[in-house]
Amino acid sequence: MLLKKMFRDMRAAKVQFVSIFILAFLGVFVFSGMRAQWEGMRENVDSYYQDTNLADLFVMGVSFGGEELAAVEALNNVSTAQLRLELDVIADLENEPTLRLLISDRNDVSQPMVVAGAAYDPNGKGIWLDRAFAEGNELEVGEVIELSYEGMTFEFVIEGLILHPEFVHNVKDAKQLVTDPSIFGYACLPSAALSIPGGIPYSHILVDVDDQVDPNEQKNLETLLSEGSKVFHVMTRETHPSIDVFESEIAQNREMGNLFPLVFFFVAALSMMTTMTRLVLAQRTLIGTLMGMGFSRRKIVAHYVSYGLWIGLAGGVLGLMTGPALISALLYSFQEVFYSLPEWSSYVSPISISSVAVVVFICAGAGYFACIREMRDLPAAVLRPKAPKVSKHTVVEKSKIWHRLSFSVKWSIRDILRSKARTMMAIAGVSGCTLMLVWGIGLYDSMIASQTWYFEDLQRYSSKVYVDSSATPEAIFEQPAKMQAVDERTVSVRDGEKRQMLPMRIFGEGNMEHFEDKNGKPLTLPEEGMLVSLKTAELLNIGVGDKVSFRLLGEEKDYESYVSSINRSPFDQGIVMSEDAFEAIGLEMNTSAYLLSDREIVREDAKGIVDIKDKEFIKDSYGQMLESLNMIIIVLFLAAVLLGVVVLYNLGSLSYAERIRELATLRVLGYPLPHIRKLLRVQTLLLTAIGSLAGVPLGIFFIRLITESISENIDFPSYIAPVSVILCVAGTFVVALTVDGLLSGKTKRIDMVGALKAVE
Amino acid sequence: MNSLISFEKVSREYGSGDSKVFALRDISFDIRKGEFVVILGPSGAGKSTLLNILGGMDQASSGRVCFGDEIVSEYNDSQLTSYRAKRIGFVFQFYNLIPNLTAYENVSLTREINDTSLDPDMTLSDVGLEGRRDHFPAQMSGGEQQRVAIARALNKSPELLLCDEPTGALDSETGVHILSLLQRLSAEQGRTVIVVTHNSKLTQLAGRVIYLRDGQIEKDEINDHPIDAKEVRW
């Protein structure tokens, strides 16, 4: 019987229960969806690494051979090791992309996953090409690819297409953000396909350890191998660029997935609370009757708790059924652009499923509290209607402004203060709406700001000409004065007991690249000392004036300089020195590229050019990333509008229902309809103003959470343009006014005659 | 003829066809300016319907309702709203004060819609509530609340004060005070007052009594010697 009563009550308070249903649904939908998405990534990438036996440690150095390999394999805890040479060559294709060759004589560690063509044969003569590279450059299995390296050319038959576990984030270096086959690709090549006199000088030893990486293992390897001066650095999975980027991608998704649904859960709890309180109050005498009839307290409480139970369960189950599939599909379509994994599938973990229990608990709990609060009294007292809540003169009224406020504002403020739960629900919902708008637009603004900062403010050149060691400025440029030489290399910097591989750039005379300090003020390249980027300084835990000791590739000698300033750049982390400062510590600059503002000055018969890259080209790939971000923004935008509409509609219909008698009285007194609508609107607008003002800082905080977790190699300041903030607040008001418009029809149905009757 | 309100063959029916029910059937009467009228009838006599039509909350199905020179029965919705706002002062059985507005603010409600509104403080002191200005309804007794409601009705200096069972929710002693206040307003300020009730005791107070039964006027009497409310025995 009571179940029947519940369904009828729900039908009577349709709007409220539907909105709780939607909020419960959205909470679970978003939570389980986002969780299934990142847990799916976790599962997929873990099994990918497992299946391909991804290396645990990457020993990097020069001219490794059988001797070093044997020494590594002899170490405790090492199960297998494999030699590899990594070599960047130029493919003879349009745009002359770089192809990174992974040359190895075995296939035990970090195995390629073949997706087309023949199985990988470590003794074969052909090449196994990166699938994205092959597709982007329209190459097929069986065709021949021509490669050149330092003036030599080679030809290989494409035997198969592969994915490689070390290239989940398939880019040349940290500056390239998106996989772009016209810039970069990779390929696996058996050592047998090359005949090099004296054997192949391997650059890597891939190490597979038995169980987990023993922290001492890395150090052991370094000590053991550094004796021969051939080891440069030992990289773990945590510091591997591709692995690290993907890990931080997962971390970001986890962060968003944990924060985002909180808004919905919170608002759902508050809505349930207000709705149930109202329902219980309206049925107070009925509860008294039931108690008088001999229903036990427990049974009555259970009845009201069951409202939340069923609504929460219905919304939650629907959310769980749709969220993981829809949200994963949506976000994966965006991530597939950036990462290559053999499989993109969602994973519904017990935690995702338990979110249904959480939402049921929240709704039922809110019902429970609303109910027991009213039932503390004895049956006889409960039978009588509750005395109306006494309004009080509040603190606000003591202030001088109070008397200047219009009547409708005064009335609204009193009403807001009188019904606190409803007010809190509205403010939480509205601020959630603004928060998501600010979050979405802020992420976009931050990206745009970084783009302008990097490509306009810092990089003042239009093209970059990569040269080999034989090149001289005179042989390349008609007017050598109009360019700036740069030497880009990787150095090994001492970091306490460890060493860090960091990019270092040395600049010749010129003004093609600008530098900025932490506050965005321009910095000039110091004549002595070095600029260290903020992220690098944080990594090494150093500040201005501290000494920095580093080694060049393949050398054992330590060079020392000091930090003269800390600079900031979104994508260029590491160390920067001027030619003078570099020479002052006894080193010589070895130009690897020239920066120029006018490509016309390059001679037609120039010699020694490896590659020319236009800045616009790089900028385009950045633009591509921005476009895919639009998807996230649309999702946030839709969620914001949905939350705003649900909460404000709920607020509107609740405050309408609670004040129906007052409104009817005003109608009898002769208040015109527009006047009454204004009274309701003023309250909505007041709460919208408070909520959206609270939402702005919260949104900015959320942007920061995301930008700060992006990556070790990217310094991404959060930024939102003032006009965007205004737009977000305005957007929230548009939602509020729209909902108000939807609700205004209700005022027409106010029953004046009903106002004359007694209070129920 | 200085009649304020006239009903000419006014009927009000609900439903249609076989289920048609007449709440009022061919009612005609005139009320002059300054009269104190009690409309009396048992429940189901059509009192509420009559009150609704008088108060501009409902329209007659047929017949003509005039207020002064104007034909109220032809008003549209917004004309009715302004009719209620400008001409009718309404006093409810359950006071219908806005709970989160003070006595002063409740009376001031009329200023939002009526230009000819009086000073709420004056009106409050007219009903003897000058000391209760900043109290909320819940802090006042039923009688005080009803006096606030009367002040609110008076504050727009209405041409007609329409009272729906004004003493229905009050104990007898408080009821006497309210009725005596209404009598005084009628006598001193010359206001037209209509009280709709089922309580026959109230007939002694009024200069005129209209008896309603089954949607029709049973009797329409003039009482030449209305007595003071304070002398009525309950």
B96 contacts A758? CB cut-off 8 A: no
- The percent of chain B in helix, strand and coil, each rounded to the nearest 5, is 40, 30, 35
A410/B contact by beta carbon, under 8 A: yes
Tokens standing for residue A754: 């009903």
The length of chain B in residues reads 234
Q: Is A672 on the interface with B (CB under 8 A)?
A: yes
In angstroms, the CA A545 to CA A565 distance is 8
Q: First vs last Cα of chain B: how many Å apart?
A: 37
CB-CB neighbors (< 8 A) of A759 in chain B: 94
A177: tokens are 């953000």
The DSSP element (H or E) to which A615 belongs, if any, is helix A615-658
Low-confidence stretches of chain A (pLDDT < 70) are 1, 174-175, 211-230, 376-396, 480-481, 628, 710-712, 755-756, 758-760
- Pick B90's closest partner by Cβ from A387, A668, A753: A668
Delimit the domains of chain A by residue range.
1-49+242-387, 57-212, 411-456+616-760, 469-607
Q: Which domains does chain B have, with CATH numbers?
A: 32-59+87-231 (3.40.50.300)
Q: Report how many helices (DSSP H) and strands (DSSP E) chain A contains, helices first.
A: 21, 21
**Candidates B57, B78, B139; nearest CB to A668:** B57
Chain B residues within 8 Å of chain A (Cβ atoms): 48, 51-52, 55, 57-58, 78, 81-86, 88, 90, 92-94, 96, 98-101, 105, 108-110, 112-114, 134, 136-139, 152, 164, 169
The greatest distance separating any two alpha carbons of chain B, rounded to the nearest whole angstrom, comes to: 57
Please report the beta strands in A414-518, taking only residues with DSSP state E, as ranges in sequence order: 463-467, 483-495, 498-507, 515-516
Looking at residue A480, what is its pLDDT?
Answer: 65
CA-to-CA dists, residue A558 to A491, A497, A589, angstroms: 11, 14, 17
Rounded to whole angstroms, how far apart are CA atoms A198 and A757? 105
Query: Mean pLDDT for each consecutive 10-residue tract of chain B (234 residues)?
Result: 85 83 90 92 87 89 91 90 90 86 88 82 88 89 90 89 87 85 87 90 88 90 84 67
Number of Cβ within a 10 Å radius of residue A348: 18
| pLDDT at residue A15, as a whole number | 80
Strand partners, A560: A549
Whether chain B has a CB inside 8 Å of the CB on A752: the answer is yes
Task: Give the pLDDT score at A113.
Answer: 93
Q: Which of residues 76 through 105 in chain A touch B, CB cutoff 8 A?
A: none
CB burial of B82-114 (b: ≥16 within 10 Å; e: otherwise) equals ebbbbbbbbbbbbbbbbbbbbbbbbbbbbbbbb
Whether the CB-CB separation of A576 and A515 falls below 8 Å is answered with yes
What pLDDT, on a 0 to 100 scale, did the predictor assign at position A760?
A: 45
Token output for A519: 């506050």
> Exposed (0-12), middle (13-18) or buried (19+): which is A250, by Cβ within 10 Å?
middle
pLDDT of residue A228: 54
